[in-house]
């Protein structure tokens, strides 16, 4: 992770929730597209043979169900997904948007990518030597950095 020693000012921590970021009236950072695939930012262990077809619209508050990280856009991941244990992917995308919009100043995109890659390849993330977080602990940490 980024260095833990800061100058005279504390780093920013004004993160916004997945619920905020998924609302269409809230602008995303210019460098991030709502339709960008989750796997264009974060590693996916495997890709499905085919992704479900996306409808033009969904009735009664339903949303697209991609079935896997490889088929999901960043915006899709802001809704709870059946394959996203503990909503870690949902909170990861919110954290990414918060970092990219400079609402969280103590993490870098590479910190989030490392966190995700370790979770996907080893089933745990090591924030420091000898300490290991499972999926639920990572989700708890990520949800703690937004409102």
pLDDT tens for each residue of 60-116: 767 788 989 999 999 999 999 999 999 999 999 999 999 999 999 999 999 999 999
pLDDT of residue 114: 96
72 within some domain: yes
**Which pTM value belongs to this model?**
0.88
8 within some domain: no
19 within some domain: no
pLDDT tens for each residue of 33-72: 999 999 999 987 777 678 888 887 777 767 788 989 999 9
Q: What is the DSSP letter of 28?
A: P
pLDDT of residue 8: 67
pLDDT of residue 7: 62
94 within some domain: yes
pLDDT at 6 exceeding the cut of 60: no
Its domain, for residue 69, covers 24-45+62-144
5 within some domain: no
Residue 84 has a CB neighbour count (10 Å cut-off) of 23
12 within some domain: no
54 within some domain: no
Number of domains in the chain: 1
117 within some domain: yes
Q: How far is CA 134 from the centre of its chain?
A: 16
Provide the 3-class DSSP secondary structure of residue 112.
helix
Model confidence at 137, in pLDDT bands (50, 70, 90)? Answer: very high
């Amino acid at each position: 992770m980024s260095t833990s020693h800061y100058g005279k000012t504390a780093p920013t921590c004004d993160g916004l929730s997945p619920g905020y970021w998924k609302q269409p009236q809230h602008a995303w950072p210019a460098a991030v597209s709502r339709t960008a695939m989750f796997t264009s930012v974060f590693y996916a262990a495997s890709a499905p043979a085919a992704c479900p077809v996306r409808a033009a619209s969904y009735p009664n508050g339903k949303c697209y169900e991609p079935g896997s990280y490889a088929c999901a856009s960043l915006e899709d991941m802001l809704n709870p997904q059946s394959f996203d244990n503990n909503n870690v992917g949902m909170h990861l995308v919110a954290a990414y948007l918060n970092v990219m919009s400079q609402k969280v100043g103590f993490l870098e995109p590479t910190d989030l990518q490392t966190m995700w890659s370790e979770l996907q390849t080893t089933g745990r993330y090591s924030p420091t030597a000898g300490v290991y977080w499972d999926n639920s602990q990572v989700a708890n940490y990520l949800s703690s950095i937004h409102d």
